[in-house]
Amino acid sequence: MQDSLTQTVDIETPELVVLSYTIAGLGSRVYAALIDLVICAVVLIAFVIGLVVLVGSRAESRAESSASTAWAVAIIVLFQFAILWGYYLLFEGFNDGQTLGKRLLKLRAVRDGGYSIGFSASAVRNLMRIVDLQPAFTYAIGIGSVLFSKSGKRLGDIVAGTIVVRESFVRQPLLPAAVAQPSTDGLVTVPLSAQLSDDEFRLLERWAERRHSLEPQRRRELTAQVAARLRRTVSLGDPAKESAELARLVESERRARQSGLAARGATGASRDRYALVTSNSPRWIAFAARLTKAQKHGLRAFGETGVREFVAEYRALAADLARLQTATRGEASNEVFYLGRLVAGAHNLLYRDRRGGIRAVLRFLAIDVPTEVRRSIAPIALAAACLFGPAAIAYTAVVRDPSVAPTFIPTGMLDRAEEGVDRAKRGDGYIEDPQVFRPVMASSIIANNVQVTIAAFAFGVTAGIGTLALLLFNGVSLGGVFGLYASKGILSLLAAFVAPHGVLELSAICIAGGAGFLIAASLLLPGRRTRRRALAENSARAMRLMAASTLMLIVAGSLEGMVSPIPYWPLSLKLIVSAMTLVLLVVYLRGGIHRVIVDPSSENMPGDALSLGGNTTSPAFTARPAI
């Protein structure tokens, strides 16, 4: 039977049956997270060792060794980032809400309606980890949210509209036993009901389960208490043999209930409770075996006919559950809990999002993503204003009075500007360009900038303050640095470095900021929607914006690491690269690319523009200026 101390949440299925999910406790979730962490660490260490061995065996000269090492480090940086963020997102998105740790502990993330989590909801709840693990990677915010939430949700679950449930089953109902008993005169008698009420039987079962684990003295005391309680109903015989009498009584009562007899004093629908269990438990047990197979291998393992039979059995079990809930009158019951777990598991499997192939991925990137960017132009424009407005103010302030620069520009950037004067005279580039380490630069830049945009999105859950702070801080830093170089007459040196990647990088930051403002809008200005519904809808939209931002940052980071540092390319040539990125970006966002990849007739129409709100972000996550 379900522990009375566990948290549960009820949902109503499309079949109008109420399912009770058991909320996963904090301890089991932490344990699963530690297992996942160990798995990630082992995979990363094994990957690094394998890559080092491979690189060492292939390098024949010092030059080849340096180049191979650079590429190896670049790959390790990207792989580490992919493990950090991709492991949880992909496993939950494509493994029906289970990482390996959750699977071992029989936990699963599902949507609030009991449906499969899907890739979008998985992305939202896992990108929100950047907020949940604050402050300073202690996970205090996430743990606090789980403890104070009625349904055990961390912030990522609240925004994504998900819950983490425990799927372990209780003891299965026993098979029917014979009901007829011979009487003393040779005739067969059929008792009308069991000797004990349900409450008395539960008391007796708890005694039977605990007696062997108790100390002798404590066992004798407990036995005497239970016997005294039951003597009001049944005759137990010799008090010196109470333990044996109670053991015989519990077996007799179990057989009575397995035979379908009603509990003593049961009336109305509750009299049919054990008859329902008796007649249907073999079918439930058989369905449990089929459900286990379906969860491991998918419904395709049954074939078309088998799937139809599975659906029919699911509907029959849902009807049984509704009848059993009526018969038990809402009381805790092993049978209700067991059957509820079966129906919930099948419900989650049958209403799982359909998995798309490569065509669905291409359709998402070519149609859904650019359509969402056009639809969300208002929050993106607000993010751009929050970034470029402070940048223009800071630029003007530094150009007019360079002495204010040290108040908001880091010392390292001030020193770089001083060195830039000499580099400009020598015709060198903005920074040193050790060509062999360009792959490392590119991979590090991609990982850093993607994490910054994740923060811009995720801290939208703080009602806009964090995202706004991140955009303002980076705008001031960006404008201040440009103003500093302009005041020294070397703006072209900086412009030549920024031009190739700047369009995509700055656009990506604005789009991620727009995603954060969408989350904030669902909290501050949900309109006629509930905040829960607004969060669910806006988080799905924000994920499409984050996909656009990530694509742009991958290209921008590659350009920043491989093209921007080249010192011998003139500014005009780098501006041509910048113009090309702008043209390609416009073509992509206008939806032109989808005509090449998918059928244009299937394009989704953009929806209504959404009103805006603010968004919050942590000062600890500030983007490196796009320079």
Is 627 domain-assigned? Answer: no
3-state secondary structure of 164: strand
Same domain, yes or no, for 571 and 513? yes
Look at residues 506, 475, 550, 511 and name the one whose alpha carbon lies nearest to residue 123.
Answer: 550
Same domain, yes or no, for 336 and 363? no
3-state secondary structure 390-457: HHHHHHHHHHHCHHHHHHCCCHHHHHHHHHHHHHHHHCCCCCCCCHHHHHHHHHHHHHHHHHHHHHHH
Domain boundary among 350, 374, 405: 350
Same domain, yes or no, for 157 and 213? no
CB 373 within 8 A of CB 551: no
Range of the domain at 290: 269-350
Same domain, yes or no, for 458 and 340? no
Is 74 domain-assigned? Answer: yes
Look at residues 251, 79, 260 and name the one whose alpha carbon lies nearest to residue 176.
Answer: 260
Look at residues 467, 516, 509 and name the one whose alpha carbon lies nearest to residue 616.
Answer: 467
- Counting residues of the chain whose pLDDT is more than 90, the rounded percentage is 23
Domain boundary among 224, 258, 292: 258
Q: What is the pLDDT of residue 187?
A: 41
Is 330 domain-assigned? Answer: yes
pLDDT in tens, 296-332: 777 878 888 888 888 888 888 888 888 777 777 656 5
Domain boundary among 114, 131, 166: 166
Same domain, yes or no, for 344 and 364? no
pTM of the model: 0.70
Residues 218, 204: Cα–Cα separation, whole Å: 16
Most confident of 212-221, 229-238, 497-506: 497-506
Residue 514: pLDDT above 60? yes
- Number of domains forming the structure of the chain: 4
Same domain, yes or no, for 56 and 128? yes
Same domain, yes or no, for 187 and 336? no
Same domain, yes or no, for 336 and 227? no
Is 264 domain-assigned? Answer: no
pLDDT band at 395 (very low <50, low <70, confident <90, very high): very high
Q: Any idea of the CA torsion for 130, 102, 533, 468, to the nearest 10 degrees? A: 0
Q: What angle do CA 320, 325, 326 make, to 5 degrees?
A: 100
Is 610 domain-assigned? Answer: no
Same domain, yes or no, for 397 and 460? yes
**Mean pLDDT (the chain, rounded):** 78
Q: Which residue has the higher pLDDT, 222 or 425?
A: 222
pLDDT in tens, 176-192: 554 444 444 444 444 54
Q: What is the pLDDT of residue 58?
A: 64
Residue 371: pLDDT above 80? yes
Same domain, yes or no, for 13 and 118? yes
DSSP label of 25: P
Same domain, yes or no, for 161 and 289? no
Q: Locate 379 and state its tokens.
A: 């929050």
Same domain, yes or no, for 377 and 439? yes
Give the number of other Cβ atoms within 10 Å of residue 408's Cβ: 15
Give the number of other Cβ atoms within 10 Å of residue 310's Cβ: 20
Q: Which amino acid is at 591?
A: G
Is 172 domain-assigned? Answer: no
Distances (CA, A) of 320 to 15, 66, 290: 12, 69, 17
pLDDT in tens, 345-354: 788 778 766 5
Look at residues 19, 627, 622, 615 and name the one whose alpha carbon lies nearest to residue 317.
Answer: 19
Q: What is the pLDDT of residue 220?
A: 80
Concatenating the DSSP letter of every residue in 66-134 gives HHHHHHHHHHHHHHHHIIIIIHHHHHHHHTTT--HHHHHTTEEEEETTS-B-HHHHHHHHHHTHHHHTT
Is 623 domain-assigned? Answer: no
CB 466 within 8 A of CB 457: no
Is 2 domain-assigned? Answer: no
